[in-house]
Amino acid sequence: MRIKEEELRTQLGHKKARVIKLLSENLRLRTRINKTDDEIADLRIRGMYIRDRIRAEKGNINIINENRMIVNYQASLDDLIEFVEGQYLYLRKARGSRKHAGVFNKLPRV
């Protein structure tokens, strides 16, 4: 499902539109985070289509870490864009304890 970039620009502004367009078309709702050597983590964006996510401004980030454990995080659209653009994102562990997401700091530049 293709999203027109002009529609996104009017809703979100140019920067957000570019990132969402990359997410929806080029990355096909999946992007890969390269870590050291053979360590690879996947960032899977699940739940809604991107268009629905823009409307709701809520997303679910599924992170599969090096131990193959799936951890879910609720994130707003701005947090999602910040994550994709390679900024640092501090994540809270699902069970309440806080931990710096050190292995996820090297994120792909869009």
Q: Where are the domains of the chain?
A: 30-104
Read off the amino acid at residue 13: G
What whole-number distance in Å separates Cα of residue 36 and Cα of residue 106?
9
The answer to whether the pTM exceeds 0.75 is no
pLDDT at 78: 56
pLDDT at 59: 43
Beta carbons of 24 and 52 less than 8 angstroms apart: no
* Closest-CA residue to 8 (of 61, 45, 51): 51
The per-residue pLDDT for range 18-49, each reduced to its tens digit, is 555 544 443 333 333 333 323 223 333 333 33
Continuous H helices in the chain:
5-12, 14-21, 50-56, 77-84
Say yes or no to pLDDT of 16 above 50: yes
